[in-house]
């Protein structure tokens, strides 16, 4: 099989599964729907592994146009594949996590009436994500970008009968529009100034000519073209990868089913922004301003989103905020020009965060769709596999030496410490403080869920889990919480198998991958880092070559002790002396309120954007329709359809006057503008 | 100032005034009569341009036929134009302002030296025996054949539209079909329905609300 | 002119249309009400025959007849064939609707054919006089169609408004034409173009006339600030007529503008470009923003039309072949989209029920997922979401603006990039209310259980229509090249 058909097969087999399950799901039944989609993704996953294996042994980069969509005015739109080591890595991450999630879904969604639809969506998502990472041009990148977004909205609103779910899905949509707008403008600038092509290779080839150009967006003010382009592109990444202040949609997206949270909102789609910036590394390397911007955004996200994780009580939201914080880490790494480290963290994070999400989902199944951690506790006896895998995932997340998260996170911290950008001081503080915070909320969750008193007994009630699902239909399978005499039970094997399979890479992959990915030449010629100008990565590389020494060395470094302190604090607070957090909460009530309200960002956005645009709409409606039309009518309040007399009255009182006046004023305006010289002398 | 120019301005003044009165007259019959005057003065303009046939056509068709018909309708229907125009004077200032600005701008533009309207010379006078009708006829049936035919289609459309909009079967129509009267049978007029002798108790619905 | 020279072949489809229309008009008198389907069938047959004649008499270059007043060029051919198709689709879609509302009469079909004849004349005229008569033919037929349902007060009122404002706009158009006549001494498009190119015509008078021409044309498109009739007329007319009004006439208006502004006054593009920029920007803004506040879907689509006309103008104001071609493509896609959108609304309406509130679409997916899917395609295409045809249409017009450089705005030169960015922003704003419809259909509970009964031929045609948006979005190349080629051939001659 030649490479082109191999790559086509990787991309298209999930699509085939999605089409069969989506269009004929009603005919082939539930079992066939999951068999066909899992088969499609499994084919992709196996072939992706083959591709990655090829690149580990020095495979050749593939860059070819597969299909030309249309040519217009000298511009070509085509579907093309660029497969290099970066793509290969993403292929493996996407397909393997997707495969796990597919299997897991069999158990998680077993009672859901939208079973086939769900499988169709997640396969469609996998296809879109593959098209995104395999793209060799900006247009296809943007299409993939929008397509994964679209499926993500569909899936957030999967339980569309919940008003919170439809709200969350609308919110995700609107916030992502802001990012996409920046992204589109960025692509527009690339098209306008970088040689007129949207092919990556052509654009990068044009960089030497344009790197010192300036543009005037506000007349008279020169801005560096590279900086503006990079920042605009990064704004796109901020939307998709949920960076502050465009992160607000991600926590709400937890309204979607848990497999989705694991696949889309933790492992793959949200890392698309990170992937995109890494792909554009030759451009970002040319603008220190843009890198500083990236780094600041990342550090704010890494630290402040971690804080929010501390006050959450919904098990999925804790993991969601932890995802935000980890995405911040990746972004900081990008800012420090350590793109390979960022991609490394993307990979390790994909495994351990998918694991944590799926484990949280398993807990939710075991607790009969109870998501409030305050009503759990002591689950380790009842759900041993979930317990062990969660523990492994949490240890990986907080960066315990030799676990996968350790290698990637420590590399990030090292790179940031050695970065010479202006923002690196703050970033260093943020990532170090973030280590403590991460450890604290991770183990707070772990202790609350798996250890301590079994609290579901006294909390047993059928009420809502976070207060806003009260209006849901009672016949649904979401009868929340356990009855007083129920016991949690371990989930079926289709749920626990993916947990085990994900736990393995969560523990070991860092040890094996850090050498080639960070220390070695895996990304040579693909990711471009100007080591002389940005020494962050250079400081990491010597360590990364020796994984074992790096792990041993960790015990004498600050991050390890910070993480340990976090774990211990969590243990003291939630196992030993639960009165302490309560007291703290009381003492620092304003801080707590601020955190519980997520820094009031939702309220601010709602007040400014949602109300603002609505007000604008109402304003025009009022001006056009009310003031000019109804306003000119005596008693003019009637609806258009009314009794005949009312219509006559309205006709008499001069609708048409105002319309005609508007038209004449329009003509007058045109005359005045075009003959201003004659009229005003 | 030449005599034709003086006539032009006088006619134009009358035309503008009568047009204004058409819109503002209180009595619809008066309005129609003002319109007649407007048509007359416009036909005067045609005469100034040596287009006698068009001048006569305007008077014959518009004044003679259209306006007379219009007057009949107005008088027969007894339309209260005041009611239809309620609010007219209220908005008059706005309309007048816009109109005046428009006039001012047009004057400034067209009278400016750049517009150079003085460069247009008067058309050469036609020979005394030149026939308007002959020229028009030749043009209409040769060069302007297509617009002429299309104008006929437009008239056909107007007829169809007018009939479509006005012809209706009246619910209170008194028209009877003699054939149907002859063919009628007793069973069509009267049918006997057998019913049990039951008296319905009046239903009292307490929640009954008047329909909105 | 010599009668022997009169070559009627280029105008054969129009002549046939008029003859067939007269035949149907007379025949209909003898058809009893219950056999009205004969009229319906004959009208469809006429449209098919017209399309066949149009294709049979196709020439890849422009031919003129009737003393140069009638021109038959590839652009006209393509647009006319499209208009036959669109009109046929309208008749099919509205068959049940008009029957349910007492409008299933011969006049409905003859008036529609009259309107089509008017559009054909607009498309094929190369003389101000015939252009104007074509326009009036179309308008008069539309006024009558809107008021055809006499017991509907809203319809009567809408017709009245459209009539009065249309008369005002016609007045502006005529005034502009007379100014141009004064400046160039001719009403024939080619002679006007030659007179302007020679540089001897009065520039002030020309631009002065141009302003009025632009105003009259903008009214026909329904562009701001000459748009006030659009929402009221769209909402007040019976949905069947709204569709008639919103579909094919936009194609005719597009060619109408090409004939007047491009072929006639192309030399003045520096002046009308700026005017169109203003009108386009205002249309995109007011159309998109006001649509958000609407609860009536017909009114919402009316505002959406206003914004789409703004986008259409983007292509025209580029004042180059590529721009015109993209505007032509936009017009075609727009008409196809509108057709499908109103088609679904018509399918959901039934005797005694008008589907015109946004709530009426709630839970459509639960009632009938196929129609919900078709509507989803329509909304996505209108919002310009890839891979639907609307995306490429928007992209093409915006691209033609980007390539433009600077535009004369009366008070000075302004970069066209601002307009392009503004257009992108507005299309994002627009996405909101289109997607609200999708949300209504997919995420809300159904409000009614009324079965959706649709005639077989409509079911098929509507599905083909909506799926065409998808197909055109994936494979737009053919139609684009057709538009470019047609523009090249048609603009080369005059």
In chain A, domain spans: 135-458+488-576, 603-680
- Here the ipTM equals 0.92
Chain-chain contact of C117 with B153 (C-beta, under 8 angstroms): yes
User: Which are the contacts of C236, defined by CB distance < 8 A and separation ≥ 6?
Assistant: A640, C146, C154, C155, C157, C158, C159, C161
In a domain, B56, yes or no: yes
Q: At what angle do helices A115-134 and A3-56 cross, to 10 degrees?
A: 70
Whole-number Å distance between alpha carbons of C278 and C310: 9
CA-closest candidate to residue A233, choices A142, A324, A149: A142
> What is the H or E stretch that residue C476 is in?
none
Residues in C touching A656 (Cβ below 8 Å): 160-161, 164-165
Query: What pLDDT shows up at residue B207?
Result: 53
A668: nearest CB among B87, B94, B101? B101
Contact A333, A342 (CB under 8 A): yes
Alpha-carbon distance of A87 to A281, in angstroms, equals 14
Which residues contact residue A497 at a Cβ distance below 8 angstroms, ignoring those fewer than 6 apart? A103
- Residues in Cβ contact with A278 at an 8 Å cutoff, skipping those fewer than 6 apart: A86, A334, A339, A340, A342, A343, A527
Interface test with C, best of B140, B142, B143, B146 (most C CBs within 10 A): B146
Q: Is B110 on the interface with C (CB under 8 A)?
A: yes
Which chain A residues in 600-639 lie under 8 Å from chain C, judged by CB atoms?
613-614, 616-618, 620-621, 624-625, 628-629
Give the number of other CB atoms < 10 A from CB of residue A549.
11
B94 → closest Cβ in A634, A652, A661: A661
pLDDT at C83: 96
Question: A343 and A266 in contact (C-beta within 8 Å)?
Answer: no
- Which chain B residues have a beta carbon less than 8 Å from that of A654? 87-88, 91
Q: What confidence category does residue B169 fall into, taking pLDDT thresholds of 50, 70 and 90?
A: low
Question: And the tokens for A678?
Answer: 């004659």
pLDDT of residue C292: 76
Q: How many domains does chain C have?
A: 1
Chain B contact partners (≥3 CB pairs within 8 A): A, C
Rounded to a whole number, what is the distance in Å from the CA of C429 to chain B's nearest CA?
Answer: 33
Asked if residue B10 belongs to a domain, the reply is yes
Residues of chain B contacting C70 with CB distance shorter than 8 Å: 146
Which chain C residues are closer than 8 Å to B120 by Cβ?
182
* Structure tokens given for C62: 């422009």
State the residue range of the domain holding B148.
130-164
Tell me the three state secondary structure of residue C7: coil
A to B CB pairs, distance under 8 Å: 49
Does residue B96 sit at the C interface (CB-CB below 8 Å)? no
Query: Which of B87, B94, B105 faces A679 most closely, judged by CB atoms?
Result: B105
Q: Domain ends where: B39, B55, B78?
A: B78
Return the residue in C68, C133, C147, C177 with the most chain B beta carbons within 10 A, the one to mutate for interface testing: C133
pLDDT digits (tens, 9 = 90+) for A27-82: 777 888 888 888 988 999 998 888 888 888 877 888 888 777 766 666 677 788 88
Check CB contact under 8 Å for A679 and B108. Answer: yes
Considering only the beta carbons, identify the residue of C165, C218, C275 that sits closest to A660.
C165
Alpha-carbon distance C317 to C276, whole Å? 6
Nearest-CA residue of chain C relative to B158?
C140
pLDDT of residue A613: 56
CA separation for the pair B146, B155 (Å, rounded): 14
Determine if residue A463 is left, alpha or beta; phi over 0 gives left, psi from -120 to 50 gives alpha, anything else beta.
beta
CB contact under 8 A, A657 and B91: yes
Distance CA A187, CA C239 (A): 41
Question: Consecutive sets of 10 residues in chain A, 681 residues long: mean pLDDT of each?
Answer: 82 87 77 86 89 82 78 72 86 88 83 81 89 87 85 78 74 78 85 80 83 74 84 88 81 80 81 88 85 89 84 83 88 87 88 86 80 77 84 87 86 85 85 87 85 68 42 42 65 81 84 78 77 77 79 81 84 77 72 70 64 59 48 34 34 60 87 84 68
At residue C333, the pLDDT reads 96
**Residue range of the domain that includes C80:** 3-491
φ, ψ of residue A341 in degrees (nearest 5): -65, -40
Residue A74: its pLDDT value, please? 64
Measured from the Cβ of residue B135, the count of other Cβ atoms closer than 10 Å reads: 13
Report if residue B140 sits inside a domain: yes
pLDDT recorded at residue C3:
63
Question: What residues does A222 pair with on adjacent strands?
Answer: A216
From A633, A652, A672, residue closest to B83, measured CB to CB: A652
CA angle centred on C358, ends C354 and C359, rounded to 5°: 85
- Render pLDDT for B174-194 as a digit per residue (tens, 0 to 9): 667 777 778 878 777 788 888
> Across-strand partners of C413?
C408
Identify whether the C-beta of residue A262 lies closer than 8 Å to the C-beta of residue A350.
Answer: no
- Distance between CA atoms of residues C335 and C250, nearest Å: 7
Assess if residue B194 is contained within a domain.
Answer: no
Compute the distance between CA of residue B19 and CA of residue B2 in angstroms, rounded to an integer: 26
CA distance C51 to A118: 46
A window 36-65, beta carbon within 8 A of B: none
Q: Give the gap in angstroms from C-alpha A645 to the nearest C-alpha of chain B.
A: 12
Residues C97 and C151: beta-carbon distance below 8 Å? no
Do residues C192 and A666 lie in contact, with contact meaning Cβ atoms separated by under 8 Å? no
Burial class (CB in 10 A: 0-12, 13-18, 19+), C166: buried
- Together in a domain, B73 and B12: yes
The DSSP-derived string for A417-463 is HT--STTHHHHHHHHHHHHHHHHHHHHHHHHHHHSS--TTTTT--SS
Length of chain C equals 494
The Cα–Cα gap between C397 and C53 comes to 32
Taking the C-alpha atoms of residue A349 and residue A344, their distance in angstroms, rounded to an integer, is: 8
> What residues of chain C score a pLDDT lower than 50?
494
Q: Which residues contact A396 (CB under 8 A, 6 or more apart)?
A: A348, A351, A352, A355, A403, A404, A405, A406, A506, A507, A510
CA distance A611 to chain B (A): 34
Count: domains in chain B: 2
- CB within 8 Å of C269: residues ≥ 6 apart: C261, C262, C319
C341's tokens: 């959108």
For residues B1 and B74, membership in a common domain is answered with yes
The C-alpha of B80 sits at a distance from chain A's nearest C-alpha, in angstroms, of 11
Task: For residue C443, give the nearest of A166, A192, A665 by CB distance.
Answer: A166
Same domain (yes/no): B2, B73: yes
Q: Which residues of B touch A (CB under 8 A)?
A: 83-88, 91, 94-95, 98-99, 101-102, 105-106, 108-109, 112, 114-115
Total-model pTM: 0.70
| A contact chains, 3+ CB pairs < 8 A | B, C
* pLDDT recorded at residue C196: 92
Subunits next to C (3 or more Cβ pairs <8 Å) are A, B
Q: Which residues of C touch B145 (CB under 8 A)?
A: 1, 6, 66-67
Q: Is B109 in Cβ contact with A671 (below 8 Å)?
A: yes
Question: For residues C341 and C346, what is the distance between their CA atoms, to the nearest angstrom?
Answer: 9
Q: Which of A71, A166, A621 sits opposite C293 (nearest CB)?
A: A621
B102 belongs to a structural domain: no
Residue B144 lies in a domain: yes
Rounded Cα distance, A410 and A341, in Å? 10
- Min Cα distance A673 → chain C (Å) is 6
Burial-class residue C370 by CB neighbours within 10 Å (0-12, 13-18, 19+). Answer: middle
Which residue on chain A is closest to B109 by alpha carbon? A678
End-to-end CA separation in angstroms for chain C: 21
- Which CATH number fits the domain that encloses residue B2? 1.20.120.1200
């Amino acid at each position: 099989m030649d490479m082109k058909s191999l790559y086509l097969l990787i991309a298209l087999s999930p699509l085939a599964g999605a089409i069969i399950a989506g269009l004929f799901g009603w005919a082939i039944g539930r079992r066939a729907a999951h068999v066909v989609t899992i088969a499609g993704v499994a084919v992709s996953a196996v072939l992706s592994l083959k591709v990655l294996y090829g690149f580990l042994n020095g495979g050749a980069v593939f860059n070819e146009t597969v299909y030309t969509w249309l040519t217009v005015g000298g511009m070509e739109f085509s579907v093309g594949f660029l497969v290099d080591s970066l793509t290969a890595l993403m292929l493996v991450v996407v397909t393997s996590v997707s495969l796990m999630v597919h299997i897991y879904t069999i158990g998680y969604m077993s009672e859901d009436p939208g079973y086939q639809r769900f499988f169709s969506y997640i396969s469609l998502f996998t296809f879109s994500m593959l098209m995104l990472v395999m793209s060799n041009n900006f247009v296809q990148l943007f299409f993939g970008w929008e397509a994964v977004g679209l499926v993500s909205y569909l899936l957030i609103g999967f339980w569309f009968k919940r008003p919170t779910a439809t709200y969350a899905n609308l919110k995700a949509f609107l916030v992502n529009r802001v990012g996409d707008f920046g992204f589109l403008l960025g692509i527009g600038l690339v098209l306008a100034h970088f040689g007129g092509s949207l092919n990556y290779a052509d654009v990068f080839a044009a960089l030497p000519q344009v790197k010192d150009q300036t543009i005037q967006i506000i007349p008279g003010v020169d801005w560096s073209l590279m900086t503006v382009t990079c920042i605009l592109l990064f704004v796109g990444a901020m939307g998709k990868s949920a960076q502050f202040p465009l992160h607000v949609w991600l926590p709400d997206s937890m309204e979607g089913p848990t497999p989705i949270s694991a696949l889309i909102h933790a492992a793959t789609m949200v890392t698309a922004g990170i992937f995109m910036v890494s792909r554009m590394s030759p451009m970002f390397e040319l603008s220190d301003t843009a890198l500083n911007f990236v780094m600041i955004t990342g550090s704010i996200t890494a630290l402040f989103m971690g804080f929010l994780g501390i006050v959450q009580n919904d098990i999925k939201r804790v993991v969601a905020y932890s995802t935000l914080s980890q995405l911040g880490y990746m972004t900081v790494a990008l800012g420090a020009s350590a793109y390979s480290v960022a991609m490394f963290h993307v990979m390790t994070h994909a495994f351990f965060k998918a694991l944590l999400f799926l484990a949280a989902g398993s807990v939710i199944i075991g607790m009969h769709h109870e998501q409030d951690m305050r009503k759990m506790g002591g689950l380790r006896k009842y759900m041993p596999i979930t317990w062990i895998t969660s523990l492994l995932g949490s240890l990986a997340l907080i960066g315990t030496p030799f676990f996968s998260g350790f290698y990637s996170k420590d590399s990030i911290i090292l790179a940031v410490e050695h970065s010479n950008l202006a923002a690196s001081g703050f970033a260093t503080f943020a990532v170090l403080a973030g280590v403590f915070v991460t450890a604290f909320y991770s183990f707070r969750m772990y202790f609350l869920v798996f250890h301590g008193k079994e609290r579901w007994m006294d909390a047993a009630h059928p009420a809502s889990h976070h207060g806003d699902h009260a209006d849901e239909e009672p016949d649904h399978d979401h009868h929340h919480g356990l009855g007083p005499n129920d016991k949690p039970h371990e989930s079926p094997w289709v749920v626990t198998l993916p947990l085990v399979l994900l736990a393995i890479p969560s523990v070991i992959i860092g040890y094996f991958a850090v050498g080639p990915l960070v220390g070695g030449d895996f990304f040579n010629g693909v990711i471009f880092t100007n080591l002389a100008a940005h020494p962050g990565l250079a400081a990491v590389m010597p360590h990364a070559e020796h994984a074992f020494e790096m792990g041993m060395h960790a015990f004498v470094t600050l991050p390890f002790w910070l993480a340990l302190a976090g774990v211990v604090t969590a243990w003291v607070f939630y196992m030993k002396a639960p009165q302490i957090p309560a007291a703290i909460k009381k003492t620092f009530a304003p801080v707590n309120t601020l955190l519980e309200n997520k820094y009031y960002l939702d309220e601010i956005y709602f007040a400014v954007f949602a109300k603002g645009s609505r007000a604008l709409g109402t304003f025009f409606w009022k001006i056009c329709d009310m003031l000019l039309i109804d306003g000119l009518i005596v008693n003019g309040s009637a609806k258009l359809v009314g009794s005949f007399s009312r219509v006559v009255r309205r006709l008499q009182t001069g609708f048409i006057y105002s319309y005609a006046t508007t038209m004449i004023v329009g003509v007058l305006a045109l005359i005045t503008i075009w003959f201003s010289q004659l009229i005003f002398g | 100032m030449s005599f034709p120019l003086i006539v032009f301005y006088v006619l134009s003044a009358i035309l503008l005034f009568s047009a204004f009165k058409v819109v503002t007259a209180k009595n619809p019959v008066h309005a129609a009569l003002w319109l007649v005057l407007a048509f007359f003065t416009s036909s005067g303009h045609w005469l100034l341009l040596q287009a006698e046939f068009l001048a006569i056509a305007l008077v014959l068709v518009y004044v003679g036929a259209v306006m007379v018909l219009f007057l009949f309708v107005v008088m027969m229907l007894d339309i209260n134009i005041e009611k239809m125009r309620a609010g007219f004077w209220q908005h008059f200032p706005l309309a007048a302002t816009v109109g005046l600005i428009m006039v001012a701008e047009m004057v400034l533009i067209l009278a400016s030296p750049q517009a150079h309207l003085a460069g247009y010379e008067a058309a050469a006078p036609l020979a005394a025996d030149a026939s308007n009708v002959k020229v028009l006829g030749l043009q209409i049936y040769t060069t302007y054949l297509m617009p002429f035919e299309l104008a006929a289609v437009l008239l056909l459309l107007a007829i169809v539209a007018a009939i479509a909009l006005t012809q209706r079967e009246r619910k209170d129509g008194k028209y009877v079909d003699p054939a149907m009267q002859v063919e009628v049978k007793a069973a069509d007029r009267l049918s006997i329905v057998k019913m049990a002798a039951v008296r319905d108790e009046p239903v009292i619905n307490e929640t009954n609300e008047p329909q909105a | 002119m010599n009668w022997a020279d009169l070559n009627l072949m280029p105008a054969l489809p129009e002549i046939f249309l008029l003859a067939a229309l007269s035949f149907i008009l007379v025949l209909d008198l003898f058809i009893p009400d219950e056999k009205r389907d004969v009229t319906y069938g004959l009208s469809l047959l006429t449209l098919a025959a017209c399309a066949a004649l149009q294709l049979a008499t196709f020439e890849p270059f422009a031919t003129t007849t009737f003393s140069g007043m009638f021109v038959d060029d590839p652009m006209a051919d393509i647009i006319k064939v499209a208009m036959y198709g669109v009109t046929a689709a309208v008749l099919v879609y509205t068959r049940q609707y008009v029957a349910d509302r007492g409008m299933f009469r011969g006049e409905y079909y003859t008036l529609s054919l009259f309107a089509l004849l008017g559009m054909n004349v607009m498309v094929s005229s190369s003389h101000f006089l015939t252009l104007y008569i074509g326009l009036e033919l179309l308008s008069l037929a539309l006024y009558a169609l809107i008021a055809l349902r006499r017991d509907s007060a809203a319809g009567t009122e809408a017709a009245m408004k459209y009539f009065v404002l249309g008369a005002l706009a016609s007045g502006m158009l005529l005034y502009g034409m007379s100014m141009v006549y004064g400046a160039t001494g001719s009403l024939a498009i080619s002679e006007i173009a030659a007179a302007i190119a020679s540089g001897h015509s009065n520039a002030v008078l020309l631009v002065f006339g141009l302003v009025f021409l632009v105003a009259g044309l903008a009214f026909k498109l329904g562009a701001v600030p000459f748009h006030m009739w659009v929402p009221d007329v769209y909402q007040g007319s019976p949905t069947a007529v709204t569709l008639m009004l919103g579909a094919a006439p936009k194609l005719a208006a597009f060619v109408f503008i090409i004939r007047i502004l491009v072929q006639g006054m192309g030399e003045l593009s520096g002046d009308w470009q700026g005017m169109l920029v203003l009108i386009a920007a205002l249309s995109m803004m007011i159309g998109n923003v006001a649509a958000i506040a609407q609860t009536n879907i017909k009114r919402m689509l009316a505002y959406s039309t206003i914004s789409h006309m703004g986008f259409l103008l983007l292509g025209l104001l580029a004042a180059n072949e590529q721009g015109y071609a993209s505007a032509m493509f936009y017009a075609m896609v727009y008409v196809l989209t509108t057709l499908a959108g109103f088609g679904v609304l018509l399918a959901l309406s039934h005797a005694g029920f008008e589907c015109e509130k946004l709530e009426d679409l709630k839970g459509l997916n639960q009632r009938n997922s196929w129609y919900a899917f078709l509507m989803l395609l329509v909304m996505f295409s209108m919002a310009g979401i890839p891979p639907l045809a609307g995306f490429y249409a928007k992209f093409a017009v915006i691209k033609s603006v980007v390539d433009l450089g600077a535009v004369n705005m009366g008070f000075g030169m302004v970069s066209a990039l601002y307009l392009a960015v503004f257009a992108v922003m507005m299309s994002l704003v627009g996405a909101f209310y289109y997607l609200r419809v999708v949300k209504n259909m997919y995420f809300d509970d159904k409000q009614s259980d009324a079965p959706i009964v649709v005639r077989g031929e409509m079911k098929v045609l509507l599905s083909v229509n909506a799926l065409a948006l998808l197909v055109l979005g994936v494979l737009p190349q053919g139609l684009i090249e057709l538009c470019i080629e047609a523009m090249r051939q048609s603009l080369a001659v005059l």
